[in-house]
Amino acid sequence: MSSTAGQVIKCRAAVAWEAGKPLAMEEVEVAPPKAMEVRLKILYTSLCHTDVYFWEAKGQTPVFPRIFGHEAGGVVESVGDGVTDLSPGDHVLPIFMGECKECAHCKSQESNMCDLLRINTDRGVMISDGQSRFSINGKPIYHFLGTSTFSEYTVVHAGCVAKINPLAPLDKVCVISCGISTGYGATVNVAKPPKGSTVAVFGLGAVGLAAAEGARASGASRIIGVDINPKRFEEAKKFGVTEFVNPTDYDRPVQEVLAEMTNGGVDRSIECSGSTSAMTSAFECVHDGWGVAVLVGVPHKDAVFKTHPVNFLVERTLKGTFYGNYKPLSDIPAVVEKYMAKELELEKFITHSVPFSEINKAFDYMLKGESLRCIIRMDG
């Protein structure tokens, strides 16, 4: 065991005190892990749009003060009682949803929606005792998505920690813990485009580009990127996108444009923007008889989208997926191995890097639309 096991650790954390205000670098106290918990030393973390969305506190319950961050890589510092699959020194990825391996979802081959450890964006405490493991001067600082990786040390439920190959570079594979797996898995695990098929990807942010990467890996012959920001088109070519459609260039629904381009509709579509209009378009643009649309983007909590029931009756299929249908503990180590075997490229998703002390720059890059993924080096 490490020399700090069982002790409170003081370390730096980037704390969000209120919505939309720059994160403040603070000294926080991180309590030891309790039963079925693990304390991690975070070495690299990156900024995902979900962090920005909840930092802005638009459309959901605000929870502050809070430590954001959920896409990261690090090592196990110490483990709590009952943890048998992880040991100090293990290289790991903390993941915002978990795998208890006991519930019906975890035992199912079809689902990754663990009953115990599924995502809860409103919860700012540990599930075992309803308490935070972070504090400043005795006052709690709340967790985010059970991970809170914008801290040099964090405490995570053991079921949300994937043990990976220690040779894998954490400054690269950290992006697997959220966005890249979400998009890539949505294509290869859920949409499953046949070789030679045509795939439309709605939203060309990091998740959408990962979906495109999955389409290319599956052997799609045409990958059509749909986005209202034409500045994203050139970058998307690196990810296999062959054609581009900007919905604002047309005075008719984009699904009609896509159907005309593809002789009746695309074989598969993956929606990665969270826009309800894009969801409708993604479903209605797939070919009748065999087309499959997959929803990935997370909409506003009050959002609804409409389509005519006939679109289902003519044998179009609509699916949803969460985290690319990957089970965090069982599947993610193999995704890391895909990178190690050069079957999955991660470097092209990483557009920026900043030291931890300059974490607010990462927010600036994303808010300006300049970055896909910005790696934050915790030692800086």
- Catalytic one of 143, 287, 352, 373: 373
Q: pLDDT digit string (tens) for 168-185?
A: 999 999 999 999 999 999
H or E stretch covering 170: helix 170-173
Higher per-residue pLDDT: 154 or 380: 154
Residue 300 falls in the annotated catalytic set: no
- Catalytic one of 39, 99, 147, 178: 178
State the pLDDT confidence band at 2, using cuts at 50, 70 and 90: low
- Catalytic one of 105, 106, 147, 352: 106
Residue 272 falls in the annotated catalytic set: no
Torsion on CA atoms 175, 99, 273, 204, rounded to nearest 10: 30
d(CA 2, CA 88): 7
- Catalytic one of 11, 56, 118, 242: 118
Contact 172, 198 (CB under 8 A): no
d(CA 111, CA 206): 24
Residue 343 falls in the annotated catalytic set: no
Residue 351 falls in the annotated catalytic set: no
The C-alpha angle 361, 299, 62, rounded to 5 degrees, equals 60
Contact 69, 144 (CB under 8 A): yes
- Catalytic one of 37, 71, 77, 99: 71
Q: pLDDT digit string (tens) for 315-327?
A: 999 999 999 999 9
Rounded average pLDDT over 33-54:
95
Question: 373 — phi, psi (to 5°)?
Answer: -135, 130
d(CA 361, CA 174): 19
- Catalytic one of 37, 39, 45, 48: 48
- Catalytic one of 66, 91, 114, 182: 114
Q: pLDDT digit string (tens) for 349-367?
A: 999 999 999 999 999 999 9
For the chain, what is the mean pLDDT? 95
> CA 215 from chain center: how many Å?
18
Q: What is the pTM of this model?
A: 0.94
Query: How much is the pLDDT for 337?
Result: 98
All residues at 6 or more sequence positions from 316 whose CB lies less than 8 Å from its CB, including other chains: 283, 284, 286, 287, 288, 291, 292, 293
Residue 106 falls in the annotated catalytic set: yes
Residue 260 falls in the annotated catalytic set: no
d(CA 271, CA 61): 25
Look up tokens 């809170």; give the residue. 148
- Catalytic one of 11, 12, 103, 121: 103
- Catalytic one of 39, 70, 91, 268: 70
d(CA 302, CA 326): 27
Contact 23, 354 (CB under 8 A): no
> Two tokens at 215?
């389409």
Residue 71 falls in the annotated catalytic set: yes
Q: pLDDT digit string (tens) for 118-150?
A: 999 889 999 999 999 999 999 999 999 999 999
Nearest-Å Rg of the Cα atoms of the chain is 21
Residue 157 falls in the annotated catalytic set: no
